[in-house]
Amino acid sequence: MGTTTIHTANRLLPLKLLNGRELSFDMPLVMGIVNITPDSFYDGGKYESPEDAVAQANKLVAEGAAIIDVGAASTRPNAVFLKPEEELKRLLPVLDALIKSNPEIIISVDTFHAEVAKKVVEHGASIINDVSGGTMDDTMFKTVGKLKAPYILMHMQGTPETMQHNPTYEDVTKEVYNFLSAQVDKARYFGVKQIIVDTGFGFGKTVEHNYTLLHNLGTFRRLGLPILAGVSRKSMVNKVLKTKAQNALTGTIALNTIALLQGANILRVHDAKEAKEVIKIVNQYLYPSTEV
């Protein structure tokens, strides 16, 4: 395969990780999901033990995932918060096992607690993925700024416990864009230099809101930052196709294709092989002269 690029409107700088490595955005990246929770909407309970989490992470990496996103607290609708100490009790044994198994693995941790962010970076995590975009812990930006870790800043209306209780917007694209822009400015004020934005599909949005955001995803390129799209097996697939998460791979592939065409730089997925193949196909579509 020749070296090829799915271009976006902005030339994006690579992520500089704390271990000295870099992640380039010359091609979109796959982020593989490993939920170590008993209650996540799709794979809850499958990877709670360090051994099972390591096996799944290694499978995702072998299939093309550049990043492994580990979550210890479910953020599905109606999810109840975990305290930081409970979250860390689940996270740290898995993080240690992952890094022992593969010292080169790039781990993102899904948390909105600054205390958790600090501890997981000390244990070798490279990226902090905050579904609250800095709104649920007012020390998060200051903490991440000191850690100098890349930070994923997501939009969510409400909290996981309340977000799907009648979400309402006058203009969902404008409101999500304005939130992300304002929070990026706040994060930068506290020294957070490497930011990825996420519109938060399914987090305080109806099906209509989700598809409006997907249709307008290219608008978010104006922020000049990498865009993460997380649509994998979510209700925006299932409600349209009248299916369940377990049968939502085809719909996920379709949405990931659209997201890439709109400029997404990272696909957050449960199925790395299929996402990697989507990236290759979309690249060939955009640049048919590419050598294969």
Task: Please confirm, yes or no, whether 188 is among the known catalytic residues.
Answer: no
User: Which residues on adjacent β-strands are paired with residue 41?
Assistant: none
Q: Residue 155: which of 185, 181, 122, 132 has the closest Cα?
A: 132
Query: Which residues have CB under 8 Å from 185's CB, separation 6+?
Result: none
**Would you call 222 a catalytic residue per the annotation?**
no
Q: Which of 90, 118, 119, 234 is catalytic?
A: 234
Centre a 10 Å sphere on the Cβ of residue 182 and count the other Cβ atoms it contains. 11
Q: Which of 76, 119, 268, 276 is catalytic?
A: 268
Residues designated as active site: 234, 268
